[in-house]
A and B are shown apart, each in its own frame.
Chain A
Amino acid sequence: MADRMEPQDDRERFEAYYTKDRTQIKRLIQIAALGTDLGLNGYTTVEEAETLVASLGLKPDSCLLDIGAGRGWPGSHIAKKSSCKLVSTDIPWEALTGARDEIEESDFEGCRQVVNADGRALPFRSESFDGIVHADVF
């Protein structure tokens, strides 16, 4: 097995976390731990995602921003349940390509965008969103 480089800062650490190899590994662990492969990434359970759906109260013409989206959970679940538009944003591109792939493979129809950006300085106009979701990033 080749040596893996130690991350030097947050960006490198996040990018190492979301390589394709690690994504496959995390799916294995998720199935073993939670009995499901819903694309869960992190600690937010399905029940907790449902609580976010209710809390956000979004409508089909709403636009949801998922900050620190990773591979898309739970933002994608919320958008699907609410039938709203979704913008997923995060730093590591590998994570977002995973999110984009999950969106394309899902049966959900609707506006979905992935944006590679730092949550501390996002490239959107003020007051653009009807809801913001986050999970273990603040």
Chain B
Amino acid sequence: MLRESFRLLKAGSVLAGYIIHTPDGLTESEESRATELGPPSVGAPDSPAAMVRNVGFVSEVQQDVTDRFKQSCLSFRKARLDLEGELRKLEGDKVYDEECSAGEGRLLGISEGLLGRCLIVAVKP
């Protein structure tokens, strides 16, 4: 998708967005655990900045927003607990429990230092 983004942008234009990622320097087992705890997009071999540079972008900004990501995850967890009765009726028990488990996984990944989120702003030269 990054290569497609590079192809589609005019020269001098910006690719900007947020990426959930694993930090540099994880062991193979930590990467594996991060992939289990995080969303499916997690698990790229390079850092977000390296990924965009590798396809030709110039990485202008990389800003860590993991704290805010954690706060959002906590808010969503609380909302799911507060709305449990209604959500169980709408989603069914299986989906409700799976979604709660996925949310707990993300929070665990963040607290263990295996998951982060950052802003990347990159320019196509």
By a beta-carbon cutoff of 8 Å, the part of chain A in contact with chain B is 1, 3-4, 10, 13, 21-22, 24-25, 28-30, 32-34, 43-45, 47-48, 51-52, 55-57, 65, 67-68, 119-122, 124, 126-138
Residue of A nearest to B91 (CB): A25
Indicate if the CB atoms of B8 and A120 lie closer than 8 Å: no
Q: How large is the interface on B (under 10, 10 to 19, 20 to 34, 35 or more residues)?
A: 35 or more
Residues of A close to B37: CB separation below 8 A: none
By a beta-carbon cutoff of 8 Å, the part of chain B in contact with chain A is 1-2, 4-5, 7-11, 13-20, 39-41, 44, 48, 51, 61, 65, 68-69, 72-73, 75-76, 78-80, 82-83, 86-87, 89-92, 94-95, 117, 119, 121
21 contacts between A and B (CB under 8 A): A1-B92, A21-B90, A21-B91, A28-B86, A29-B79, A29-B87, A33-B72, A43-B117, A45-B68, A47-B68, A56-B16, A65-B8, A124-B8, A127-B9, A128-B10, A129-B13, A131-B13, A134-B15, A137-B17, A138-B2, A138-B41
Q: How far is the CB of A34 from chain B (nearest CB, A)?
A: 6
Q: How far is the CB of B40 from chain A (nearest CB, A)?
A: 7
Q: How far is the CB of A85 from chain B (nearest CB, A)?
A: 14
Residues of B close to A122: CB separation below 8 A: 4, 8
Indicate if the CB atoms of A33 and B90 lie closer than 8 Å: no
Bound-state Cα–Cα, A121 to B47, Å: 23
In the complex, besides A1-B92, A55-B119, A133-B17, 15 extra interface pairs with C-beta distance below 8 angstroms are: A3-B94, A4-B92, A4-B94, A28-B90, A34-B72, A52-B16, A119-B1, A127-B7, A127-B11, A129-B8, A131-B14, A134-B17, A136-B41, A138-B2, A138-B17
